[in-house]
Amino acid sequence: MTDSTAAALPAASTAASNGRFGPYGGRYVPETLVHPLAELTEAYEQAQRDPGFQQELDRLLHHFAGRPTPLFHARRLSHHLVPSGRARVYLKREDLLHTGAHKINNCLGQALLARRMGKRRIIAETGAGQHGVATATVAALFNFECVVYMGADDMARQALNVARMRLLGTEVRAVDSGSRTLKDAISEAMRDWVARCDDTHYLLGSVLGAHPYPAMVRDFHACIGREARQQFLEAEGRLPDVLFACVGGGSNAIGLFHPFLDDAGVAMIGVEAGGRGNKLGEHAARFLPNGGGRPGVLQGTYSYLLQDDAGQIAATHSISAGLDYPSIGPEHALLHDVGRATYTSASDTEALAACQLLARIEGIIPALESAHAVAGACARVPTLAGSDGKSELGVIINISGRGDKDMDILTRTLGLNA
Ligand SMILES: *Cc1c(COP(=O)(O)O)cnc(C)c1O
């Protein structure tokens, strides 16, 4: 690590014990949530010092969820992107985990914490239903009562995930207020928590919300980057040059990036949802140079936010529900501002094309979220591989989840039943 990097990243490289990542993060909550958040922070800090906690988490990650996930050398994709052979592209296979995405890493960690705190009831919010399904899964495993809040419109769009949650024994509560989508479900879950924090743990699904969630959820996903770093070293005898991950709230991306932050030679590229255009309302690209977000507070944390001139939260659009959120984890805001990570976006069309490409060329159907990371790599790798004297460009793309859940939309947009 160079000295200047060290100076620029004090908060990002530590546990952010005050909940701040530079100016971002913090704890912007009503008085009633100060105590449960302090209790959670204390429990998490204790758990980190307890080797028994990490052992139990490792056991579940291995035997229940399927870690470590493979790091797969995608030879045909490498050759397709750089025909000269000067790129070695690897896929981190989070799509192979139980429930089909990285989300189970965080859910297992928080379920263990909830049990440690003596909570018997779990609540969560969900948009597309993926986090709801992962939460319902750990609730069944730990014998917790579980309630998942979901926008009424999302429930209609994601009927299969609603049925999965119910089969797992979870109560799914429809949220009819506001835009009847994710951010309304989050507000409703917060209200529930305020009323029942004595016996209830709020299992938040990304690196969002008030401290300690952004740091804690990151730590539960950092296994992605720790494994990938080790696996790449074993395969190639050196570190990769560049990492790609899609960024919704930012949990799979920070999970991959974080263990590489001190490796100054490793570039990191987060890929946001470019949707169908650059106008506010048509995308979820918080870091878009013109038409992106400005810092503000949403749902407990200070970060980049898509908002109109009056400060009202903007509508967002993405073909992939998991990336369709107006704010982004505060640690990404810091990494963006100091230039340690760079952020780009892929449009709906580019993500669809990347999904098709990966399916045909490697036999892997990625989630549409993950397809954004593949699209970002398709756009950058050919130029990066030609840009310096290095013999080969080493690349890792995080495949955060599998595409089964997206088959409806893929069938319709690609005309697969014609
Ligand atoms: C939820 C989800 C995402 C987006 O969430 P992050 O917190 O940004 O990782 C990405 N990929 C998949 C497969 C998801 O289910």
Q: How far apart are CA 311 and CA 293, in angstroms?
A: 10
Kindly report, as residue ranges, where domains of CATH 3.40.50.1100 are found in the chain: 23-62+103-217, 67-100+221-414
pLDDT tens for residues 158-212?
A: 899 999 999 999 999 999 988 888 888 998 999 999 999 999 999 999 999 999 9
Kindly report the protein residue whose alpha carbon is nearest to atom 14 of ligand 1: 322
Q: Quick one: pLDDT at residue 17?
A: 65
158 Cβ inside 6 Å of ligand 1: no
Q: Quick one: pLDDT at residue 15?
A: 43
299 Cβ inside 6 Å of ligand 1: no
- CATH of span 23-62+103-217: 3.40.50.1100
- CATH of span 67-100+221-414: 3.40.50.1100
Residue to substitute in 99, 130, 402 for testing ligand 1 pocket (most ligand atoms within 8 angstroms of CB): 130
Going from the Cα of 84 to the center of ligand 1, the distance in angstroms, rounded, reads 33
pLDDT tens for residues 361-373?
A: 999 999 999 999 9
Q: What φ, ψ does residue 304 adopt, rounded to 5°?
A: -65, 140
161 Cβ inside 6 Å of ligand 1: no
- For residues 106 and 217, the answer to whether their CB atoms sit within 8 Å is yes
pLDDT tens for residues 113-152?
A: 999 999 999 999 998 899 999 999 999 999 999 999 999 9
Q: What φ, ψ does residue 150 adopt, rounded to 5°?
A: -145, 135
Q: Which H helix or E strand runs over 173? A: strand 171-175
What positions carry a catalytic annotation? 103, 125, 400
318 Cβ inside 6 Å of ligand 1: no
Q: How many residues does the chain have?
A: 418
Q: How confident is the model at residue 218 (pLDDT cuts 50, 70, 90)?
A: very high
* Six token digits for residue 177: 């207020």
Q: pTM for this structure?
A: 0.95
**Is residue 35 classed as helix, strand or coil in its secondary structure?**
helix
Residue 8 has pLDDT above 90, yes or no: no
